Chains A and B, each alone.
Chain A
Amino acid sequence: AQSVSQHNHHVILSEAASLELGCNYSYGGTVNLFWYVQYPGQHLQLLLKYFSGDPLVKGIKGFEAEFIKSKFSFNLRKPSVQWSDTAEYFCAVNGNSGYSTLTFGKGTMLLVSP
């Protein structure tokens, strides 16, 4: 069965600090990978996705993620966070061949202090 592990449940950073949120997955095949973000009081939004090709993908609001196949990882990064990045971040995975269930990690709550 597929699974997703997010390393940190809570992260607290100051503005302008760099961010890296860890995500590791377990899946017996090729995968699609996603990061979703849920801002306070808002619904879940797609931040970025990886299907194939360049393992470094860029998303909205200056976020990027790198797929490292050998490490089964898809870590999310941002060089300089802002207070408005305070949100919960979810990593998710599904299989690349045909349709398969989207499995979510438990989420990481990021708090950016001004």
Chain B
Amino acid sequence: SAVISQKPSRDICQRGTSLTIQCQVDSQVTMMFWYRQQPGQSLTLIATANQGSEATYESGFVIDKFPISRPNLTFSTLTVSNMSPEDSSIYLCSVAKLAGEPQETQYFGPGTRLLVL
């Protein structure tokens, strides 16, 4: 597996502001993803972070609201822009295709718990 860290672990933000969440992996991975887990709900994929190109967004998520960067094979950021209380959620980074792993198992970071007032 991989060791995945996220910063910040939690934050309280005012509506209208933006927050950037960082995801760092201790080894190179092919694929990185960002998920949202709203209170009492399951995980929903926001986007696939592609290294060197624009992220691939799922239906209902757009780049202007959730810009993503992936400058290399071990790091990605997700920004939650122009936040509203509806964005209060846990945001999780996950990775797949670790070196030596031929199949697509995803491993998850600890999450960033966001509260928007």
Contacts and interface: CB of A to CB of B under 8 A. Distances in A.
Contact of A90 (B43, B107, B109): B43
Interface in B61-106: 92, 96, 103-106
Contacts of A107: 42
Interface residues of A, number: 19
Given A43-B110, A46-B1, A104 B103 contact: no
Interface size of B as a range: 20 to 34
B53 interface: no
Interface of A: 32, 34, 36, 42-46, 49, 51, 90, 94, 99, 101-102, 104-107
A43 B96 CA distance: 16
A104 B43 CA distance: 6
Nearest to B105: A49
Given A43-B109, A44-B43, A46-B1, 13 more contacts: A32-B104, A43-B92, A43-B111, A46-B105, A46-B106, A49-B105, A99-B96, A101-B58, A102-B33, A105-B42, A106-B41, A106-B42, A107-B42
